[in-house]
Amino acid sequence: MLLHIPDVLAPAEVAQIRAALDAADWTDGRETVGAQGAKVKRNQQLPDASPLRQQLAQRVLAALAKNPLYHAATLPLRTLPPRFNRYEGGGQYGFHVDGAVMALSAEAQLRSDISCTLFLNEPDDYDGGELIVSDTYGEHAVKLPAGDLIVYPSSSLHRVTAVTRGARMASFFWVQSLIRDDSRRRLLFELDSSIQSLTASGADAAAVLQLTGVYHNLLRQWSET
């Protein structure tokens, strides 16, 4: 499921994060990928061990924790702490598929079910830099306002086009969902959205309660912990 989640960060929060990143020390983004990814990746990244990266990651996670649409869409079980990257001067990332298993710590791992990109620039700030996600329906170009998030299956083939003017900054991270299968996550999201709409419209309370029971019983049957 490819989903645009608006206003994860307020404009003031974006401005504060951008100011911190503008003054940061960056490293070659190829240092955090394997041999195949290094062949097509041309960007800069905030070092994983950077105290600034850890501080900003906590701010992003705090914003996500307050976003009901994000939780309904992803049903997160584990989240890799957000990272931050920058593309400029022709920087790009060719077509690739994200790694299936990632280290959360020395003792724990995460299965990447969902990939997330949180945009930190306005679209007019730079040329190029579209996230291209390829699926069975074709290629989808994504370039969102600052503070908006795109989520999509980590199994998707995707790339970032070359940035030819300005700089594109973003936060990116991966989620292991309670629901491994993307089609089941979509069904649960659509059911949850329908329940919310029916509740807001004053629909029959007994019918809404029955649908809510269906949602939770499906979640109980399909979830992995």
pLDDT truncated to tens, each residue of the chain (225 aa)? 999 999 999 999 999 999 999 999 999 987 766 666 668 889 999 999 999 999 999 999 999 999 999 999 999 999 999 999 999 999 999 999 999 999 998 889 999 999 999 999 999 999 999 999 998 889 999 999 999 999 999 999 999 999 999 999 999 999 999 999 999 999 999 999 999 999 999 999 999 999 999 999 999 999 998
* Among the listed residues 49, 42, 50, 41, the one whose alpha carbon sits nearest the alpha carbon of residue 21: 50
Instruction: From residue 81, give the alpha-carbon distance in Å to each of 55, 57, 72, 166, 176.
Output: 10, 6, 19, 27, 12
Residue 198, classified by CB atoms within 10 Å of its CB into exposed (0-12), middle (13-18) or buried (19+), is middle
Q: What's the fold here for domain 3-177?
A: Jelly Rolls (2.60.120)
* Among the listed residues 192, 118, 115, 109, the one whose alpha carbon sits nearest the alpha carbon of residue 154: 115
Identity (one letter) of the amino acid at 66?
Answer: K
Task: Indicate the domain borders of the chain.
Answer: 3-177, 182-222
pTM for this structure? 0.95
Calpha distance 102→110 (Å, rounded): 5
Q: In CATH, what is the architecture of 182-222?
A: Irregular (4.10)
Calpha distance 75→52 (Å, rounded): 27
